[in-house]
Amino acid sequence: MTERFIEVSLVSRGVAARARLLDDRAPVTCAAVWAALPLTGDVYHAKYARNEIYALFPPFTPTEPPLENPTVTPIPGDLCYFSFAGSELATKAYGYDREPPPGTTVVDLALFYERNNLLLNGDVGWVPGTVWAEVVEGLPALAEACNDLWRNGAAGEQLAFRAL
């Protein structure tokens, strides 16, 4: 299979990076995300995982992909896929401005931009994710924008994914 690439961007900050899909390691997840592109959503900065930004989406495939190429210690440039029951995110402690309706599923597409990440949530324990892509160009500028997002806030910013 030919390598596939996407652009990951923070829209308002005008910064983007290029990522390579890991079709050989997470084929089902890559196919699901690729078919759903483009995707854009409000960005959040993680509270417990450390150096992570992410956006939440409704499910975009009839069946959730299995856990592929799993990690609980993502490295800089990893793009991870998570799926949560809406009830797992329904507490105000997560800082969302809306609650997912009971019985729904929420897809979390995340970018890890710096070292020393650990996917351990105090409420539920380990939260393994599927590493489905890796940033191959532009990570330093995107990481700088992610740090700005952490320090100055995420309100009004969007995280976008599109095919290249």
Specify the pLDDT at position 46: 87
What is the rounded average pLDDT for all residues in the chain?
91
Per-residue pLDDT of the chain (164 residues; tens, 9 = 90+): 699 999 999 999 999 999 999 999 999 999 999 999 999 999 999 877 799 999 999 999 999 999 999 999 999 999 999 998 866 665 655 555 566 666 778 899 999 999 999 999 877 889 999 999 999 999 999 999 999 999 999 999 999 999 99
What is the 3-state secondary structure of the chain? CCCCEEEEEECCCCEEEEEEECCCCCHHHHHHHHHHCCEEEEEEECCCCCCEEEEEECCCCCCCCCCCCEECCCCCCEEEEEEEEHHHHCCHHHCCCCCCCCCCEEEEEEEECCCCCCCEECCCEECCEEEEEEEEECHHHHHHHHHHHHHHCCCCCEEEEEEC
Specify the pLDDT at position 123: 77
**pLDDT of 51-65, one tens digit each?**
999 999 999 999 999
